Structure formats: C-alpha cells, structure tokens
Amino acid sequence: MVSPTGDMARRVRRRVIAASDDTVLLGAKVPGLTEVGGHELRGQLFNVFRIRGGRIVEVADYALRDQALEAAGAKAPAWH
C-alpha cells in the first residue's frame, strides 16, 4: 500500500463512496499516482474496508471504481 507523504498527502482527495454496517468503500484521488506494482491507477485508488466489532478486519485495494463497488456489494448511482 502506498502512503502519500508531504505535499502529496495534502493534495489527496478522499471520499466515502458507499457504506453499510460492515463495509466502507473509500475513493482517493492522488495527483501524480500513476501505478503501484505495475498496475495502472490513473491518479486514483479505491479501498474496500470490512468491519467487525467496530474494527477494520480487512482492506482490499482496487484500481477501478466498478471493481471496488462490486467487491463492496454496492452499485453506482443511476446518475453516474
């Protein structure tokens, strides 16, 4: 996982895209982030957090929003 530092951390925009009692989907736009481990990111990264007992028990990273939505069991809004 990449942790932005310094100036990059100040430019990261985060947004909760979907949430339920046990899952949170977070999207982050990170200027200058183009790839991690050979996977193209196009300046954005999506994380799906699984929560049990008020604690994060799993985090999965996705390069594509649709993949993250599917993993989170959510659907894109009709207006998107």
* Residues 62-73 pLDDT 10s: 988 889 999 999
Q: Give pLDDT, residue 31.
A: 80
Nearest to 49 by CA among 13, 16, 5: 16
In three state form, how does the secondary structure of 1-55 look? CCCCCHHHHHHCEEEEEEECCCEEEEEEECCCCCEECCEECCCEEEEEEEEECCE
List the chain residues with pLDDT less than 70: 1-12, 79-80
Q: Give pLDDT, residue 10.
A: 58
Q: Give pLDDT, residue 1.
A: 45
Instruction: Determine contact, residues 48/72, Cβ cutoff 8 Å.
Output: yes
Instruction: Determine contact, residues 49/59, Cβ cutoff 8 Å.
Output: yes
% the chain with pLDDT above 70 = 81
- Residues constituting the chain: 80
In the chain, where are the structural domains located? 6-72
